[in-house]
Structure 1
Amino acid sequence: MMDASTDQLRTLAAVIDYGTFERAAEALHITPSAVSQRMKGLEQQAGRVLVLRTKPIAPTAAGQILLRLARQVALLESEALDELGAEGGHGRSSIPLVVNADSLATWVLPALASLDEVSFEITLEDQDHTLDRLRDGTAMAAITSDPEPVQGCVVSRLGSMRYRPTASPLFVERWLPNGYGSAGFDDDALASAPMLVFDRKDALQDRYLASRGAVAHPPRHFVPASTEFVRAAELGLGWGMLPALQTDPLIADGRLVVLDEGGAVDVPLYWQQWSLESSTLAVVAATLMDAATRELR
């Protein structure tokens, strides 16, 4: 039976968060030797290696399990101290979240800004790839497109973000001589007109091409930032599947146009969080659910 101390679990989390024993020691205000001793003791109790001594240090599969435990203990300890008004209670719990860039750039940040008593460590990840962060203990909660809960998590539907093939009038003039819509944004244009892609995990544009039955392989510009992605489209760099939440005002102003009104893709989003009786997580979840009800489809 394991008898891991809170100090050992806190040290494991720090080692993963800061990437080296030395930086973890600085954060914990102890010596690197003490960090090493705590990790050695925890690994002896677990009977297996918990971290890979790479740069940065990474958790093993067993380490991921104990990292989740460490996060849970830290959160519950913080909430208990605050309720007791005990010394060491600081009034703020820290919640690591993983969020897709488009949600962060549109509806998530205004919602989180209303929570004065919570600190957030936000990691950006494509909505199709966020669950790895829950599995490895990096995040306690995630906005994801996957409705299947990770083991030890609960899931709730948030709504859908609508994406449309969008470009600037300058792009249309340069690359679509027959205009846009079904007549102009045709197979020839799909094959030659430059396309915007967020990163190599972003499959939205290819999903749209597949829906058109296109076998095109157009030139691609990779722009891995949500605001700059829209700006690239506005400047005429390429066309892309852009969120309606970001582009409706630009379309109303004539700075962007929808190339194919029938080509919209609705991406469902879900909230997944650890199955943990935490008042802080409950408040964060309720706040984001409320915002999603107002902003998403």
Structure 2
Amino acid sequence: MNLEHLKALVAVIDEGTFEAAADQLRITPSAVSQRIKALESSVGQVLVRRRVPCTATDAGALLLRMARQVQVLEAEASAALGAGSPARAHLPVAVNADSLATWFIPVLHQAAGWDDAALDLLVEDQGFSSRLLRDGAVMGAVTSDPVPVSGCRVELLGSMRYIPVAAPGLHRRFSTSGAPDWSAMPVLKFNAKDTLQQQLLTAKGVAGPPPTHTVPSSQGFFAAVKAGLGWGMIPELQLDGELERGALVRLEEHTHQDVALYWQAWALDSERLGRMGAAVRAAAAAQLRAGDGQELSGPSRAGHRPRK
């Protein structure tokens, strides 16, 4: 398998079109097409679905993983040999929005000092990020899946605690004797994958959904809760004194959800990827709760895929 052909495969999938891949590789679109066809001929299978954007077939995903690994190892070998200035290898990593807005920030501070690596962050729900590892789209992922993807290592990072909160005005409007009217109080969700709020409503016996607003941004979700648009499950790390100042109200004192997070990464002997894993572990150890996300209250979450 020709190295230049593998680089063309990565460029086509990352850039989305043959034309954009050509710009990135500084060759013509025709040359990109020829390299992809040659690679497909060598393995006897179609590797790229020609659409906008281009996507990898199952066979293409397998080669995409290998191509990314080869690129990282090539850059590290060149640096070890002293072949010019160190090549900046791309490290595609999946992380959920709530983590990126809170405990993951120190990882970004460390990465700012890496002259030989560039982060490509993909924001994905922690219950779905392992799929990106299988597809070869990322080399590492913050995930809630404890089962390692084939060819990957997995380790527990800790747990994020989510707490049901609302703006004081919203709480007063939809409370009776201090208890929330769960069936009437407007609620927020992050996106279609977000089931944290619905799980709590189901535990409260709420049959039909209350008025529901969708806010697909971690910071926007938090701002919408503070604005009184609806109640929501907010990461404990994001509250930062909001309860003490009275800006938000906890809807039930002992209700919360602890979501276990894991670091999954390719089992690759790479200094850059190892450095990334070490930064993730250090940030998680400093801010996440210890443990595997055992729930302290509320319904069973067997098979639950939490949000963001």
SS of 2:240 mapped into structure 1: helix
Q: Which residue pairs with 2:223 in the alignment?
A: 231
1:177 positional shift: 4.2
The CA deviation string for residues 56-75 of structure 1, in whole angstroms up to 9 with x for no partner, is 00000000000001100011
The CA deviation string for residues 96-119 of structure 1, in whole angstroms up to 9 with x for no partner, is 000000000001122231131131
Counterpart of 2:107, as a letter, is A
Q: Which residue pairs with 1:97 in the alignment?
A: 93
Contact 1:164–1:261 under 8 Å retained in 2: no
The CA deviation string for residues 152-208 of structure 1, in whole angstroms up to 9 with x for no partner, is 1110000000001111101112222432xxxx12xxx11111111000001111222
1:213 positional shift: 3.9
The CA deviation string for residues 216-264 of structure 1, in whole angstroms up to 9 with x for no partner, is 4111110000011010000000000100000132112110111012210
Q: Tell me the C-alpha RMSD between the 2 structures.
A: 1.2
Structure with more helix by fraction: 1
Contact 2:165–2:248 under 8 Å retained in 1: yes
Q: Which residue pairs with 1:264 in the alignment?
A: 256
1:88 positional shift: 6.0
Task: Trace 1:176-191 onto structure 2 (pairs within 5 A).
Answer: 176-179=175-178, 184-185=179-180, 189-191=181-183
The CA deviation string for residues 251-292 of structure 1, in whole angstroms up to 9 with x for no partner, is 121101110122100000000001111111111111111111
User: Gaps spanning 5+ residues in structure 1: where?
Assistant: none
Q: What TM-score, normalized by structure 2, do the two folds share?
A: 0.90
Q: Which residue pairs with 2:62 in the alignment?
A: 65
Pairing 1:112–2:124 present: no
Measured in 2, the distance between the counterparts of 1:33 and 1:89 equals 30
Task: Trace 1:1-297 onto structure 2 (pairs within 5 A).
Answer: 4-87=1-84, 89-90=86-87, 92-115=88-111, 116-117=113-114, 118-179=117-178, 184-185=179-180, 189-297=181-289
Contact 2:167–2:249 under 8 Å retained in 1: yes
Identity %: 48
Counterpart of 1:161, as a letter, is M
Aligned residues between the structures: 286
Q: What TM-score, normalized by structure 1, do the two folds share?
A: 0.93
Counterpart of 1:269, as a letter, is L
Measured in 1, the distance between the counterparts of 2:77 and 2:205 equals 57
Measured in 2, the distance between the counterparts of 1:131 and 1:216 equals 32
The CA deviation string for residues 114-140 of structure 1, in whole angstroms up to 9 with x for no partner, is 131131000101111111111111110
